[in-house]
């Protein structure tokens, strides 16, 4: 408990520092939005009376609504947030940063950051960048969703690039989903044109997945397929076409999508990604049928990856059924990755079976590594049985 209290104090300290840091770094950007607000009659509910609510009252209302888990009161408190000007947001953010519970603090800060993004996106970005790294990630989508809502996609992308968010790891990646998914729905041509401005592997992968969300419209899908086919990187091309075909099949059935795939796609890497995406549609409801379909399309170059894909998805939900199915497959060297994956998935619940599966791996190095990982856990939960298993191997 002492450690938890101290970590919480550090987190609050970082949040207070973020508030101070964004104040110092905030410029005088004129967005045509006044920092003051006209008098109004008030917001009902959640500790906000008929009088005009100040920042302290708004934060108190948010805190009380979250503590009581009262959705109506929370919605009323958020209406109060929408009335705060820039100077009042300084005080409100500082107050919300002092809320002790991490979840309550996060939920109280979210609408305040959204309001700040509406009034001054530079200040909002600076505030989020001043938070502890874990909390930066939590607020990234909401932050850029608000910037897109109030200032448009083009400006949001300019903010992203100007602040160098592409170099911010998971934070930068998370900002791209609300940007490109929204842009693709609003103006697919502009969104496609903007994709070339995103750099970095993880950033581009997120951008690709996000823009593909808009392919529910057939005309947009056609444009996106043309764009995807022109991507120079084979991995990016596979990711884009895999997502596009999967969305196509989910909405209109797999027959037309698969007919197009078989007629057009030549790259084995792209084909593998598409086939796994199509299999994932039915893997949850009928994993046996999905597995048999996918393995029926497997060639020499894709068998290992298809097996591993099936096991990684199926065994998480139904390890016994997945293990029975895997045991019926020819377990040659191409099955090593799938067997190793399965052994690691079931280690926590059944280390004895996991160790037996690990022993069926053909490659000596992978067999040893997988067996050691299983054994580390087994020694903790049942050292006697683990020792007997090792003794049996050494006796052989």
pTM of the model: 0.76
> Is residue 295 a part of any domain in this protein?
no
Final residue belonging to a domain, choices 128, 158, 187: 187
> Is residue 234 a part of any domain in this protein?
no
> Is residue 12 a part of any domain in this protein?
yes
> Is residue 331 a part of any domain in this protein?
yes
pLDDT in tens, 81-122: 999 999 999 899 999 988 888 899 899 999 999 999 999 999
Final residue belonging to a domain, choices 156, 187, 218: 187
My answer on whether 11 and 158 are in the same domain is yes
Q: What is the DSSP string of 134-168?
A: HHHHHHHHHHHHHHHHHH-HHHHHHHHHHTTGGGS
What are residue 98's phi and psi, to 5 degrees? -90, -5
Instruction: Domain count for the chain, please give it.
Output: 2
My answer on whether 4 and 131 are in the same domain is yes
What are residue 360's phi and psi, to 5 degrees? -90, 0
> Is residue 271 a part of any domain in this protein?
no
Lowest mean pLDDT among 24-33, 49-58, 92-101, 298-307: 24-33
What is the pLDDT averaged over residues 190-215? 94
Query: Chain centroid to CA 286: how far?
Result: 26
Q: With 50 as the cut, is the pLDDT of residue 376 above it?
A: yes
Q: Are 215 and 247 in contact (CB under 8 A)?
A: yes
Final residue belonging to a domain, choices 165, 187, 209: 187
Among the listed residues 234, 307, 316, the one whose alpha carbon sits nearest the alpha carbon of residue 276: 307
> Is residue 259 a part of any domain in this protein?
no
For the CA atoms of 210, 212, 217, 221, what is the dihedral angle to 10 degrees? Answer: 160
Among the listed residues 69, 95, 73, the one whose alpha carbon sits nearest the alpha carbon of residue 84: 95
Classified as helix, coil or strand, 314 is helix
Q: Are 323 and 342 in contact (CB under 8 A)?
A: yes
Cβ contacts of 124 within 8 Å, gap of 6 or more:
22, 113, 116, 117, 143, 146, 147
What is the pLDDT averaged over residues 195-205? 92
My answer on whether 176 and 309 are in the same domain is no
Range of the domain at 154: 1-22+56-187
> Is residue 50 a part of any domain in this protein?
no
């Amino acid at each position: 408990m002492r450690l938890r209290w101290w970590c919480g104090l550090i987190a609050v300290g970082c949040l207070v520092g973020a508030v101070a840091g964004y104040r110092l770094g905030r410029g005088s950007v004129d967005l045509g939005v006044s920092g003051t607000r006209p008098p109004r009659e008030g917001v009902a509910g959640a500790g906000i009376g008929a009088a005009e609510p100040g920042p302290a009252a708004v934060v108190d209302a948010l805190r009380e609504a979250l503590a009581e888990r009262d959705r109506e009161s929370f919605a009323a408190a958020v209406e109060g947030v929408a009335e705060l000007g820039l100077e009042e947001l300084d005080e409100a953010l500082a107050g919300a940063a002092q809320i002790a519970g991490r979840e309550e603090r996060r939920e109280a800060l979210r609408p305040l950051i959204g309001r700040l993004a509406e009034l001054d996106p530079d200040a909002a970005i600076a505030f989020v960048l001043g938070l502890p790294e874990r909390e930066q990630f939590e607020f990234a989508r909401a932050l850029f969703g608000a910037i897109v809502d109030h200032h448009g996609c083009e400006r949001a992308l300019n903010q992203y690039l100007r602040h160098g968010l592409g170099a911010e790891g998971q934070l930068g990646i998370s900002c791209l989903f609300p940007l490109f998914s929204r842009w693709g729905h609003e103006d697919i041509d502009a969104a496609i044109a903007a994709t070339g401005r995103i750099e970095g592997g993880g950033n581009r992968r997120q951008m690709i997945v996000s823009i593909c969300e808009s392919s529910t419209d057939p005309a947009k899908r056609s444009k996106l397929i043309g764009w995807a086919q022109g991507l120079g990187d084979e991995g990016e091309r596979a990711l884009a076409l895999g997502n596009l075909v999967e969305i196509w099949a989910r909405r209109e059935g797999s027959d037309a999508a698969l007919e197009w795939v078989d007629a057009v796609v030549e790259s084995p890497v792209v084909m593998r990604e598409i086939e796994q995406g199509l299999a994932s549609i039915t893997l949850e409801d009928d994993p046996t049928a999905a597995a048999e379909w996918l393995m029926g399309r497997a060639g020499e170059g894709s068998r290992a990856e298809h097996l591993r894909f099936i096991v990684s998805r199926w065994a998480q939900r139904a390890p016994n059924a997945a293990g029975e199915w895997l045991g019926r497959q020819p377990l040659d060297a191409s099955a090593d990755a799938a067997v190793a994956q399965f052994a690691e998935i079931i280690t926590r619940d059944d280390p004895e079976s996991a160790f037996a599966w690990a022993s069926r791996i053909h490659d000596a190095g992978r067999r040893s590594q997988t067996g050691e990982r299983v054994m580390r856990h087994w020694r903790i939960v049942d050292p006697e049985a683990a020792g007997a298993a090792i003794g049996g191997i050494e006796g052989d």
